[in-house]
Amino acid sequence: MYKKILTAVNEHLNSEVTARYAMNLARICGARLYLCFVAEKEMTASTINRAKEAVKRIFLEAEKIGIEIEAITETGDPVRKVGELVRGERIDIVFASTRKEDIERRFFAGTIARRLSLSLPCSMAIVRVVHTGRIHPKEILVPLKARIDHVEERAYFTAKIAQAFGSEVFIFHSPETVSKFFHGEIHLTPIEWAENLPKDISDFMEHMKRYRIAHAGRSVPGSIGRMITIEAFSKRHDLIIMGARQRSMLSSILKGNPVEEVLRNTPCDLIILKPRREG
């Protein structure tokens, strides 16, 4: 599914960590990796040099493990330049980081990551880095709604990240209406989940089984965003992978959004995946 992966790199450490998520995905998918740094006009020479050094480190690391890689440096508006590259090279997915400072604004409005997510024709993975050390997520939390857009791509992305790091996947469902699904906290085996949960979640778990990903799941009623952060903190998960639609990103300016709440309060690294083809 992913043959060409682009990661946007800048002078900040979190973009370098984000690039390593992209690099590991490229490794497990056998994809070509593009490192892209766009120097904005107001950047100082020292800032540009820090970004170029980051690109060099990632390039050498990727080359060492046999990834087909290309480094690109441009000058101008990052959103426009990345967009041109995505369309010209037919990139399948773009990785971009968002900083703690960015999320102080409502759903990181006006940031490069958000502008890219609203303008690119390909899939987009926005990464909120909490831990800047070596990435080795062993437990991945995947919150799912009853209805999942683009189940196949969501499952593929999750499975490949899990394969890249040897991770176990924990599927978490927080129904808005308790009486509609369960009463109280429920712990279920994958087989029991397939029998009781909505079809889209069952389909997602079937994909995990097909990819041979170790997985488990449970359901806890409550406020979705709050319950996800509590679950991640209490169970000490290393990474959260959430889905987001373009429509929800646009509407988040006017009303609350669980993705935004988790983005602000996540206790671990967070990847927000916006699938390629919007329904």
What's the CATH code of the domain at 207? Answer: 3.40.50.620
The reply to whether 50 falls in a domain is yes
CA angle 261, 263, 264 (to 5 degrees): 70
Q: Are residues 74 and 148 in the same domain?
A: no
Q: Quick one: 124 and 150 in the same domain?
A: no
pLDDT score, position 184: 52
Q: What is the pLDDT of residues 89-138, one digit of tens each?
A: 999 999 999 865 555 554 445 578 888 888 899 999 999 999 877 788 99
Give yes or no for residue 261 having a pLDDT over 90: no
Range in 63-77, 132-146, 205-219, 240-254 the model is least confident about:
240-254
Same domain as 117, residue 198: no
Q: Residue 278 falls within a domain, yes or no?
A: no
pLDDT at 14: 92
User: Is the distance from CB of 174 to CB of 221 less than 8 angstroms?
Assistant: yes
Q: Which of 99, 128, 157 is the last residue of a domain?
A: 128
Threshold 0.75, pTM exceeds:
yes
How high is the pLDDT of residue 265? 87
Considering the domain boundaries, does residue 55 fall inside one? yes
Residues 108 and 150 in one domain: no
Please say if the pLDDT value at position 189 is more than 60.
Answer: no
Q: 196: domain range?
A: 139-270
Which residues lie closer than 8 Å to 102 by C-beta, 6 or more apart?
Answer: 108, 111, 113
Angle between helices 13-29 and 151-165 (to 10 degrees): 100
Residues 56, 61, 63, 69, CA torsion sign: negative
Last residue of a domain, one of 78, 93, 128: 128
Q: Is the dihedral of CA 55, 60, 65, 71 positive or negative?
A: positive
The percent of residues above 70 in pLDDT, for the chain, comes to 81
Average pLDDT (25-50) is: 95
Q: 128, 147, 164 — which closes off a domain? A: 128
pLDDT digits (tens, 9 = 90+) for 100-113: 555 555 444 557 88
pLDDT at 201 over 50: yes
How many independent structural domains does the chain possess? 2
Instruction: Give pLDDT, residue 252.
Output: 46
Does the pLDDT value for residue 194 go beyond 70?
no
Q: Are residues 44 and 94 in the same domain?
A: yes
Question: In percent, how much of the chain has pLDDT > 90?
Answer: 56
The model's confidence at residue 244, banded by pLDDT at 50, 70 and 90, is confident
Q: If you ran DSSP here, which 8-state letter would residue 167 be given?
A: P
How far, in Å, CA of 224 to CA of 205, rounded? 20
